[in-house]
């Protein structure tokens, strides 16, 4: 970290890359069923093992997918171009509601203290 901090301060070899990605967390008993409906590749089984990273398409949007375990619960993190954030949120929310699920909020996984 010290070397990175020094490079950031000097500006040598450091280029600012501004990103405005949309980020989502998907979890729960319906996770595999949801992904089977919307994902371009099969993310079941070993692909959902902890800390697996994949680039794919979900509901027609290019995404980066990272599977993790947080607070004892398996989850998938998604990142996409921010301009697709509202579309992807609404699409996933509609499908998960049809399956009997819904949003839970970030405090489900991360304590705000």
Residue 99 resides in a domain: yes
Give the tens place of pLDDT for each residue, 20-45. Answer: 999 999 999 998 899 999 988 887 77
The number of domains in the chain is 1
Give tens-digit pLDDT for 75-104.
Answer: 899 999 999 999 999 999 999 999 999 988
Nearest alpha-carbon partner for 86 in 67, 65, 57, 61? 61
Q: What is the pTM of this model?
A: 0.76
Q: Are 35 and 91 in contact (CB under 8 A)?
A: no
The parent domain of residue 93 ranges over 20-104
Task: Let me know if residue 89 belongs to a domain.
Answer: yes
Q: Which domain CATH number covers 76?
A: 3.30.1360.120
């Amino acid at each position: 970290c010290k070397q990175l901090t020094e490079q950031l301060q000097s500006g040598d070899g450091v280029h600012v890359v501004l990103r405005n990605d949309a980020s989502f967390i998907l979890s729960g008993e319906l996770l595999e069923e949801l992904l089977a409906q919307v994902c371009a590749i099969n993310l079941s089984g070993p692909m959902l093992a902890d800390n697996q990273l994949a680039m794919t398409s979900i509901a027609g949007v290019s995404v980066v997918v990272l599977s993790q375990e947080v607070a004892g619960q398996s989850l998938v993190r998604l990142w996409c171009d921010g301009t697709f954030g509202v579309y992807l949120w609404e699409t996933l929310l509609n499908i998960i509601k049809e399956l009997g699920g819904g949003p839970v909020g970030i405090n489900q996984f991360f304590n705000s203290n």
